[in-house]
Amino acid sequence: MPDLSGQHAIVTGGGSGIGLAIAQALAGAGAEVTITGRRKQALQDAADATPGLHPLVMDVTDEAAVVDGFAQAVAARGPIAICVANAGIAEGRSLHKMDLAFWRKILATNLDGVFLTLREALKTMRDVPAGRVIAISSIAGVRGLRGAPAYSASKHGVIGLIRGLSEDYMGGHITFNAICPGYVDTDIVTRNTAEISERTGMGEDEARQTMIRANRHKRLMEVSEIAAAALWLCDSASKSVNGQCIEISGGQT
Ligand code: NDP
């Protein structure tokens, strides 16, 4: 367990699912963690339940909100040492049925949102002795995901951004890595099950079974499994891990 006492972390989409599990793990290691999202109540509930979590309403698709949100967080808790760009949406649609608005919605959250988040984080990370940037991509960032080309494109883009940053800031005091989960049991999977069922005509249980079967261990993963990897990436023991994408998927790819 790393000692993150006194470090300020920010986790986008930290009010639920994987982001909340990561935020709780970082707070458990002593960090003060700003958690962001659009749903004020979800953030407040999370902060009330776990000491060390601090809610901040911030839509990652809104440039002014991200600039202002980071300024507020830094003013309250100092420069960011750990930034976890986790906020994302997952919706599927075949390309020939996709309008530009749908494409832009996915890219605006999953890729533009990561760009805006990391840009503001890097401005403040100059002032910390050691920084950690972690982006939550997906196995859809290393292979295609059937029925979800826009999502796959956005998650491939996240890995490209992380690799590019690790080159740009090579030799510096910040590491940049992506985590690529397979199916994790969160609201996204529940929503996707309903959406796949509606799109393909298969029952919801069958859609869920498809996701379970994709994992060679025949299970949906738990958020704690992703949080454990994020925590390790924040440890000084992993300081030489840079520009990588760590797949956690039960051998899905
Ligand atoms: P959740 O739906 O629980 O988490 C998504 C989070 O992103 C929410 O907290 C949501 O908060 C936030 N979010 C979405 N859009 C915005 C926005 N415009 N601005 C700010 N915050 C936003 O699902 P997961 O925990 O599963 O997803 C977390 C990440 O993990 C995503 O990037 C997802 O693509 C990725 N992932 C998930 C997998 C899975 O199987 N669960 C597999 C691979 C990757 P709010 O609604 O309050 O804005």
d(CA 115, CA 121): 10
Instruction: Give alpha helix (H) positions in the chain.
Output: 17-28, 40-49, 63-77, 100-107, 113-125, 149-168, 187-200, 204-214, 223-233
Nearest one of 160, 172, 105, 104 to 135, comparing CA atoms = 160
Summarised one tens digit per residue, pLDDT across range 54-108 is 999 999 999 999 999 999 999 999 999 999 999 999 999 999 999 999 999 999 9
**Quick check: 132 and 81 in contact, CB under 8 A?**
yes
Beta pairing, strands 8-12 & 80-85:
parallel
**Quick check: 6 and 34 in contact, CB under 8 A?**
no
Q: In the structure encoding, which two tokens stand for residue 60, read together?
A: 């990652």
The reply to whether the predicted model has a pTM over 0.90 is: yes
d(CA 66, CA 106): 18
- Tell me which of 33, 89, 134 to substitute to probe ligand 1's pocket, judged by most ligand atoms within 8 Å of the beta carbon: 89
Is any atom of ligand 1 closer than 6 Å to the C-beta of 66? Answer: no
Catalytic residue IDs: 151
Output the residue whose Cα is nearest ligand 1's atom 32.
Answer: 88
Summarised one tens digit per residue, pLDDT across range 45-66 is 999 999 999 999 999 999 999 9
Is any atom of ligand 1 closer than 6 Å to the C-beta of 22? Answer: no
DSSP 79: S
DSSP 97: G
Q: In the structure encoding, which two tokens stand for residue 65, read together?
A: 């909100």
Q: Which residues contact 92 (CB under 8 A, 6 or more apart)?
A: 145, 147, 148, 151, 192, 195, 196, 199
Per the listing, tokens 């940053």 go with 165
Q: How far is the CA of 12 from the centre of ligand 1 (A)?
A: 9
Output the residue whose Cα is nearest ligand 1's atom 34.
Answer: 88
ipTM for the predicted complex comes to 0.99
Identify any residues that bridge with 35 across adjacent strands, giving them in sequence order: 11, 55
d(CA 14, CA 31): 14
Summarised one tens digit per residue, pLDDT across range 95-145 is 999 999 999 999 999 999 999 999 999 999 988 999 999 999 999 999 999
Q: Please, what are the domains in the chain?
A: 8-182+223-246 (3.40.50.720), 184-220 (no CATH)
Is any atom of ligand 1 closer than 6 Å to the C-beta of 189? Answer: yes
